[in-house]
């Protein structure tokens, strides 16, 4: 029986963001499942739309024996600390040593691909290299990657095969784990690595231009699937995470298979046309003005993405620029109780609301002025008299298309109202990608006229089908909508900051 060690390490690193990913971040369980090691790993992650769960199901269908090692994931932020990376890597490597002694046939890793540690810019490449040193050249190592991976030459060299998501929002995570199992089966049958061909694009792609719900990415991934059918390959296109300041930050295309070069070159020709990747993002005040006007005749909510404070890209989900814009333009007075904003990470405000109780009114300062990529702080907190509309313990199981079945723990949470605007306030950081996160505090997104979400694209999977319009806005925050606004120091001179 084929014996496969499985493990995971998930972090998307915005090196310009204010908060580090320490060991505690991998153990909180707010945005990802908490760190788990051993047999409990397979039990706790089963049935969730994440890659390792898809790989486990596919492996069982192949009749493989699974040996769970460790799985670690933390919400996107700045660098992974040395301590956190070394703890995670040590656990996985120790288990690989033990598994090899029992007779190991392969390793599968559920990786992100854009994790930058304090001491290892290419931390996934470092982990792969350590495992390769343990198992030698003949035992296959296969990994799945996030669509935003910054794929390095070291990753391609140390792994036998890599495959990435094909959707953003990432609704195909479990499917990608199953595709990794397919690549491993091909590798085991062949008894050798399949030919690989890779090309790096010479420019960064803005995060908001990467959505596969809109052009050009939507059509490009359809073409990717057609290319694979024609060439018998397994290809990937990682659009990259354009906020990781190291020399191999950039999009990448690659293919595995006997006709890998032809497939990858065709895919490169389609993706490397720069003009198609240019984007439009509205200033906060303009986005709010448009939303108020559109909501007057819309039969569904107008959704505004607060993209520069996306906690799924390194923000802390606590800036107030769009909230100030909503108040200044009277959005809540125009549509009282039908303007929602979330998720606002403010544990002190959530605790104060919990202590005060539903129906109470209290003076609060909500939100935080944080350092931004410009060097200037974001907008000041919103001070005023708030009403407590509803309270919750922060426990929520997601039901939308992305991360279906994942249970999150966001701690004491509340719906607070000021000037007719309802804000979902939480004690843990989580991107607003699922309507259940609002329902948790009594906000029904479908009944709102305007909904502001701290997200860049992941919200589209569960919100866009129920929205009349989607606007992307930028208020001051840690995550630049335009990579050219960032103070790059280590990016390769061969890579342009704009398409």
For 443-474, give the DSSP string: --GGG-SEEEES-SSTTHHHHGGG-SEEEEEE
Burial class (CB within 10 angstroms; exposed 0-12, middle 13-18, buried 19+) of 468? middle
Question: 362 and 428: one domain?
Answer: yes
Domain assignment present for residue 490? The answer is: no
> 293 by DSSP, 3-state: which?
helix
The string of pLDDT tens digits covering residues 344-385 is 999 999 999 999 999 999 999 999 999 898 888 999 999 999
Of 307, 346, 348, 326, which Cα lies nearest the Cα of 428?
A: 346
User: Across residues 119-138, what is the average pLDDT?
Assistant: 98
Distance CA(57)–CA(114), nearest Å, equals: 26
Question: 234 and 328: one domain?
Answer: no
pLDDT above 90: residue 7: yes
Share of the chain above pLDDT 70, in %: 100
Q: How far is CA 248 from the centre of its chain?
A: 19
Question: 287 and 164: one domain?
Answer: no
Question: 256 and 315: one domain?
Answer: no
Region label for 317, one of left (φ > 0), alpha (ψ between -120 and 50) or beta (otherwise): left
Question: 363 and 266: one domain?
Answer: no
Question: 247 and 132: one domain?
Answer: yes
The reported pLDDT for the residue numbered 458 is 96
- Give the pLDDT band (50/70/90) at residue 18: confident
User: Across residues 314-334, what is the average pLDDT?
Assistant: 97
pLDDT above 90: residue 134: yes
Domain assignment present for residue 491? The answer is: no
Burial class (CB within 10 angstroms; exposed 0-12, middle 13-18, buried 19+) of 94? middle
Q: For residue 47, what is the domain's CATH number?
A: 3.40.50.2300
The string of pLDDT tens digits covering residues 75-100 is 999 999 999 999 999 999 999 999 99
Distance CA(372)–CA(376), nearest Å, equals: 6
Query: Where does a domain end: 221, 249, 277?
Result: 277
Domain assignment present for residue 494? The answer is: no
Query: Where does a domain end: 244, 277, 310?
Result: 277
Domain assignment present for residue 498? The answer is: no
Share of the chain above pLDDT 90, in %: 97
- Give the pLDDT band (50/70/90) at residue 223: very high
> pTM for this structure?
0.94
pLDDT above 90: residue 31: no
The string of pLDDT tens digits covering residues 273-322 is 999 999 889 999 999 999 999 999 999 999 999 999 999 999 999 999 99
Number of Cα atoms under 13 Å in the Cβ half of residue 327? 15
> 173 by DSSP, 3-state: which?
helix
Domain assignment present for residue 135? The answer is: yes
Distance CA(207)–CA(209), nearest Å, equals: 5
- Please give the tally of structural domains in the chain: 2
pLDDT above 90: residue 135: yes
- Give the pLDDT band (50/70/90) at residue 138: very high
Domain assignment present for residue 129? The answer is: yes
Which two three-digit tokens encode residue 163?
């495959």
Distance CA(271)–CA(254), nearest Å, equals: 12
Question: 462 and 388: one domain?
Answer: yes
Question: 92 and 188: one domain?
Answer: yes
> Mean pLDDT score of the chain, rounded to an integer?
97
Question: 259 and 288: one domain?
Answer: no
Question: 364 and 414: one domain?
Answer: yes
- Give the pLDDT band (50/70/90) at residue 469: very high
DSSP type of residue 279? -
7: phi then psi, degrees, rounded to nearest 5: -155, 170
The sheet carrying 3-10 orders its strands as 36-37, 65-73, 3-10, 106-111, 141-145, 161-164
Domain that holds residue 153: 3-277
Distance CA(153)–CA(158), nearest Å, equals: 9
Of 197, 178, 198, 194, which Cα lies nearest the Cα of 186?
A: 194
User: Across residues 382-408, what is the average pLDDT?
Assistant: 96
Which two three-digit tokens encode residue 423?
């804000």
Domain assignment present for residue 368? The answer is: yes
The reported pLDDT for the residue numbered 386 is 98
The reported pLDDT for the residue numbered 177 is 98
Question: 67 and 180: one domain?
Answer: yes
Question: 127 and 72: one domain?
Answer: yes
Distance CA(297)–CA(469), nearest Å, equals: 11
Query: Where does a domain end: 255, 277, 299?
Result: 277
User: Across residues 258-276, what is the average pLDDT?
Assistant: 98
Domain assignment present for residue 305? The answer is: yes
Distance CA(237)–CA(264), nearest Å, equals: 9
């Amino acid at each position: 029986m084929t014996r496969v060690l499985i493990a995971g390490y998930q972090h998307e690193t915005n090196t310009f963001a204010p908060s580090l990913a320490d060991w505690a971040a991998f153990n909180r369980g707010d945005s990802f499942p908490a760190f788990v090691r051993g047999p409990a790993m397979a039990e706790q992650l089963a049935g969730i739309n994440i890659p390792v769960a898809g790989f486990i199901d596919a492996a069982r269908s192949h009749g493989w024996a699974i040996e769970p090692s460790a799985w670690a994931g933390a919400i996107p932020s700045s660098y992974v600390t040395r301590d956190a990376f070394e703890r995670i890597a040590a656990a996985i490597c120790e288990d690989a040593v033990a598994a090899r002694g029992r007779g190991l046939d392969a390793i599968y890793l559920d990786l992100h691909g854009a994790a930058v540690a304090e001491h290892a810019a290419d931390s996934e490449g470092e982990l792969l290299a350590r495992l390769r040193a343990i198992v030698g050249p003949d035992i296959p190592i296969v990994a799945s990657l996030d669509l935003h991976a910054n794929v390095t030459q070291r990753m391609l060299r140390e792994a036998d095969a890599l495959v990435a998501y094909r959707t953003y929002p990432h609704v195909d995570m479990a499917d990608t784990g199953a595709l990794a199992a397919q690549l491993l089966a091909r590798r085991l049958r062949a008894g050798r690595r399949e030919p690989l061909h890779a090309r790096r694009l010479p420019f960064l792609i803005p995060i908001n231009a990467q959505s596969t719900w809109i052009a050009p990415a939507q059509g490009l991934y359809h073409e990717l699937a057609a290319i694979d059918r024609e060439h018998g390959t397994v290809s990937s296109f990682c659009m990259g995470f354009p906020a990781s300041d190291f020399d191999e930050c950039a999009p990448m295309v690659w293919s595995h298979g006997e006709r890998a070069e032809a497939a990858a070159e065709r895919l490169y020709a389609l993706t490397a046309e720069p003009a198609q990747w240019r984007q439009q993002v509205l200033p906060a005040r303009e986005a709010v003005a448009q939303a108020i006007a559109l909501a007057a005749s819309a039969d569904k909510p107008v959704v505004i993405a607060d993209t520069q404070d996306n906690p799924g890209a390194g923000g802390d989900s606590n800036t107030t620029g769009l909230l100030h814009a909503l108040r200044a333009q009277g959005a809540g007075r125009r549509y009282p109780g039908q303007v929602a904003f979330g998720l606002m990470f403010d544990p002190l405000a959530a605790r104060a609301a919990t202590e005060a109780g539903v129906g109470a009114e209290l003076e609060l300062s909500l939100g935080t002025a944080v350092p931004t990529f410009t060097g200037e702080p974001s907008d000041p907190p919103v001070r005023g008299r708030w009403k407590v509309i509803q309270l919750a313990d922060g426990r929520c199981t997601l039901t939308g298309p992305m991360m279906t079945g994942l249970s999150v723990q966001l701690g004491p949470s509340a719906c607070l109202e000021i000037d007719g605007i309802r804000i979902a306030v939480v004690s843990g950081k989580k991107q607003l990608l699922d309507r259940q996160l609002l329902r948790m505090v009594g906000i029904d997104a479908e009944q709102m006229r305007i909904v502001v979400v701290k997200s860049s694209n992941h919200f589209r999977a569960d919100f866009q089908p129920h929205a009349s319009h989607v606007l992307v806005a930028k208020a001051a925050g840690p995550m630049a909508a335009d990579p050219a606004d960032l103070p790059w120091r280590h990016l390769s001179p061969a890579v342009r900051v704009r398409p």
